[in-house]
Amino acid sequence: MMRRVWMMALLGLPGCSRPLEQPEIREVLDRQVAAWNRGDVEGFMQGYWKSDNLEFATPQETTRGWQATLDRYRKRYSTPAKMGHLRFEKLAAVEMRPDFARVSGRYLLDTSEGAKSGRFELTFRRMDGAWVITRDHTVADP
């Protein structure tokens, strides 16, 4: 059942999520956007779980580990112009428990290489009193 809800949310189907109203999670995402928009990849990565078990998945590949994910971002977005300006929209809680959340949304990225956009679903866990992203599944728009 959870996989069905997750896929429905990722595909943007109605009736499977609710607006994100968790301020602590929203704050993590707001800090990520602010760091990205000032060209600070390391600051952006502070929202992620600093663990070898972090997963960043796209339809093409899965990157495992915080350092490998940071290296991936550094390679793809090597300059502030390539990073561009990021914003998130349509943030929704797909599933919420006291120490676990799934959040879906859309990203819009204006870069020197043109506009990019897509959908994402983030798995958050509360660890040591702080919310961190433990899994990021991102799908770019065609």
pLDDT at residue number 5:
40
- The mean pLDDT of the chain is 89
CATH number, domain 2-8+23-140, options 3.10.450.50, 1.10.287.1080, 3.40.640.10, 3.40.50.300: 3.10.450.50
pLDDT at position 7 over 80:
no
Percent pLDDT > 70 in the chain is 88
Rounded to whole angstroms, the Cα distance separating 111 from 84 reads 4
DSSP the chain: -HHHHHHHHHTT-TTS-EE---HHHHHHHHHHHHHHHTT-HHHHHTTB--STT-EEE-SS-EEESHHHHHHHHHHHT-SHHHH-EEEEEEEEEEEEETTEEEEEEEEEEEETTEEEEEEEEEEEEEETTEEEEEEEEEEE--
Residue tagged 């600051």 (tokens): 43
Task: Answer whether 33's CB lies under 8 Å from 88's CB.
Answer: yes
Query: What number is the average pLDDT over the span 22-28?
Result: 94
Task: Answer whether 65's CB lies under 8 Å from 54's CB.
Answer: yes
User: For 45-82, how does the pLDDT look when each residue is reduced to its tens digit (9 = 90+)?
Assistant: 999 999 999 999 999 999 999 999 999 999 999 999 99
pLDDT at residue number 141:
96
Model's pTM, two decimal places? 0.85
Tokens of 96: 């919420």
pLDDT at residue number 17:
64
- Give the domain ranges of the chain: 2-8+23-140
Cβ atoms within 10 Å, residue 39: 15
